[in-house]
């Protein structure tokens, strides 16, 4: 059966993940953030730990690339150009260094950063200038290879430099595309065999493109003010979930 051939997982699980890819891509396109985190939370329940981050990364590569392609006219090329060198540095660090924070600390740090970006006072211009953007690219790419979903962190940073919904979605998608692209290198170096999961990844990417197209149709109907409110609250809810996970892991 075709569904059985997609991956080592049962056919029903493969079908569920393909459908979920369409749903979460639509969420990310319409709300600007959240789909990737929801996807990795669900995948973590049914996939082997060794396959979780690399497979999720390749699926998110397809989802973000399609969203970036459909919104490229609104891309802030200055932010992307400053972000890319940081992505390269972060990927190299992730490939060669084995740095691990105590369980729970990473989640709490990311949550604190996101909540400050959403509700705290504005950052100084230097923090969102070229140097700050390069540092953000390096740090978030490195963290992405450790925890899988760095989307809330990147989105919180992009939020500081852009106020309109379409440039924010386009630039976030392009930055995340570059970041997820490095995972093929990072996990290839680590010895992960992508071949066993290619069918599932391609099916999820195709479903994600459909979800992205539908989500962007909804995005065009939202005002900048309403989108900003949704974006901020979705980020905050994701940060609260990270706090919950961090506290659980710290307390054992």
* Average model confidence (pLDDT) across the chain: 82
202 versus 37: the higher-pLDDT residue is 202
Query: What does the radius of gyration of the chain's CA atoms come to, in whole angstroms?
Result: 17
0.75 exceeded by pTM: yes
Token digits of residue 215: 């989500």
- Residue 24's domain comprises 2-250
pLDDT for residue 224: 78
* pLDDT 10s digits, 105-124: 766 776 776 777 677 665 56
Q: Does residue 212 come out as left (phi exceeding 0), alpha (psi in the -120 to 50 range) or beta?
A: alpha
H or E stretch covering 51: helix 49-70
pLDDT of residue 123: 57
Q: State how many domains the chain has.
A: 1
* pLDDT for res 98: 47
Residues 179-186, mean pLDDT to the nearest whole number = 80
Report residue 109 as tokens: 């740090």
């Amino acid at each position: 059966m075709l569904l059985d051939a997609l991956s080592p997982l049962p056919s029903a699980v493969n079908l569920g993940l393909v459908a979920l890819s369409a749903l979460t891509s639509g969420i990310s396109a319409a709300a600007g953030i959240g789909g990737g985190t929801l996807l990795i939370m669900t995948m973590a329940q049914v996939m082997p730990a060794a396959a979780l981050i690399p497979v999720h990364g390749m699926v998110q590569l397809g989802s973000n690339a399609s969203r970036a392609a459909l919104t490229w006219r609104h891309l802030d090329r200055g932010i992307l150009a400053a972000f890319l060198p940081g992505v390269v540095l972060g990927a190299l660090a992730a490939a060669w260094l084995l740095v691990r924070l105590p369980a729970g600390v990473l989640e709490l740090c990311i949550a604190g950063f996101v909540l400050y970006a959403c509700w705290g006072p504005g950052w100084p211009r230097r923090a969102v200038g070229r140097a700050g953007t390069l540092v953000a690219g390096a740090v978030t790419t490195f963290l992405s290879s450790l925890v899988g979903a760095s989307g809330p962190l990147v989105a919180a940073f992009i939020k500081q430099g852009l106020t309109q919904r379409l440039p924010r979605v386009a630039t976030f998608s392009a930055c995340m595309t570059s970041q997820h692209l490095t995972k093929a290198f990072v996990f290839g170096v680590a010895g992960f065999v992508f071949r066993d999961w290619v069918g599932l990844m391609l099916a999820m990417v195709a479903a994600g493109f459909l979800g992205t197209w539908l989500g962007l149709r909804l995005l065009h109907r939202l005002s900048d003010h309403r989108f900003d409110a949704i974006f901020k609250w979705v980020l905050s809810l994701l940060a609260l979930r990270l706090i919950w996970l961090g506290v659980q892991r710290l307390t054992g």
